[in-house]
């Protein structure tokens, strides 16, 4: 197969999905991983695709200046810590002994899960930092997602896997951006993993500090109407509060002082 034909097939693959892994591409172009990575580099240089960890994503077509990009987990840990800790405390108050929970990767979810380390709960997570900490310091029942480790977002994911054989009463996840159209995320792997996990939970609970409102990211994850509860800090504007409640979302405001509303 010629290079031109490989490139065409790779671009065709992105028409119906936001991300394609190297393994996905191997199946359609019948080439070695080394050849595929060289093709990815050429397509990225030409602006036809975005090179991301583990594969390619559709090229961005432009957008407002407040569009955000994915930060590494270690960098996110340093941002908005006091608000995230307050949000984590409110989230922990929603958990009952015996609950089965899905906790997504992300710095706010990490702080939240630490509060459950020695609780009588079952936790499924795709977060490698969280799994390592709970292994060392916790006694809760832990189920870890299988697949490859993607170090930038800190998650474990297998592009070939379907939804996990784990069913939860609550799915806790963070957000990179929240707009009137719903939640958005930059990293395509996070989008695909979230879509699978949504099929295995009764209630979706979003942990998002107020900085996330008004931002935009590349890929939609879910509409606001899919969210049951959203926990944020007292920096939330009245307009964004109305946006959430109009979508039927229960809003909990976390305050670093310990006040509850």
128 and 195 fall within a common domain: yes
Burial class (CB in 10 A: 0-12, 13-18, 19+), 248: exposed
Is 66 inside a domain boundary? no
Do 91 and 37 reside in the same domain of the chain? no
**Same domain? 96 vs 189:** yes
The number of folded domains in the chain is 2
Residue owning tokens 């916790």: 138
Tell whether 68 is covered by a domain. Answer: no
Report the predicted TM-score, pTM, of the whole model to 2 decimal places: 0.71
Q: Domain limits at 102?
A: 73-254
Per the listing, tokens 């993993």 go with 193
Per-residue tens of pLDDT for the chain, all 261 residues = 888 889 988 888 877 666 778 888 888 898 998 999 899 888 887 777 877 767 787 665 444 434 444 544 444 544 557 889 999 999 999 999 999 999 998 889 999 999 999 999 999 999 999 999 999 999 999 999 988 888 777 888 887 788 899 999 999 999 889 999 999 988 888 888 899 999 999 999 999 998 889 788 888 999 999 999 999 999 899 999 999 999 999 999 998 754 444
pLDDT tens readout for residues 58-114? 665 444 434 444 544 444 544 557 889 999 999 999 999 999 999 998 889 999 999
Are 24 and 120 found together in one domain?
Answer: no
Nearest to 61 by CA among 30, 104, 117, 18: 18
Question: Is 105 found in the same domain as 129?
Answer: yes
Q: Are residues 214 and 107 in the same domain?
A: yes
> Could you tell me if 36 and 78 lie in one domain?
no
Q: Indicate if 81 and 190 belong to the same structural domain.
A: yes
Beta-bridge partners for 56: 20, 51
Neighbours of 17 (CB within 10 A): 13
Same domain membership, residue 24 and residue 126: no
């Amino acid at each position: 197969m010629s290079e031109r034909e490989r490139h065409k097939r790779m671009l065709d693959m992105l028409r119906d999905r936001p991300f394609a892994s190297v393994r996905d591409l191997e199946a359609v172009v019948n080439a070695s991983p080394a050849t595929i990575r060289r093709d990815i580099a050429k397509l990225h240089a030409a602006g036809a695709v975005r090179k991301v960890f583990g594969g390619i994503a559709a090229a961005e077509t432009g957008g407002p200046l407040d569009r955000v990009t994915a930060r590494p987990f270690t960098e996110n840990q340093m941002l908005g810590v006091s608000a995230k800790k307050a949000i984590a405390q409110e989230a922990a108050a929603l958990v009952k002994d015996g609950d089965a929970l899905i906790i997504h990767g992300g710095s706010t979810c990490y702080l939240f899960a630490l509060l459950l380390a020695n609780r009588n709960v079952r936790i499924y997570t795709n977060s490698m930092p969280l799994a390592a900490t709970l292994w060392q310091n916790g006694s809760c029942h832990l189920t870890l997602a299988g697949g490859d480790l993607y170090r930038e977002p800190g998650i474990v994911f297998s592009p070939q896997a379907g939804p996990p054989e784990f069913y939860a009463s609550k799915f806790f996840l963070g957000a990179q951006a929240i707009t009137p159209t719903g939640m958005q995320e930059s990293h395509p792997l996070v989008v695909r993993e979230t879509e699978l996990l949504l099929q295995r939970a009764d209630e979706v609970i979003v942990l998002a500090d107020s900085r996330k409102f008004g931002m935009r990211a590349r890929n939609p994850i879910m509409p606001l109407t899919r969210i049951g509860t959203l926990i944020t800090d007292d920096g939330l504007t009245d307009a964004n509060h109305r946006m959430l409640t109009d979508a039927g979302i229960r809003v909990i405001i976390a305050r670093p002082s310990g006040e509850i509303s």
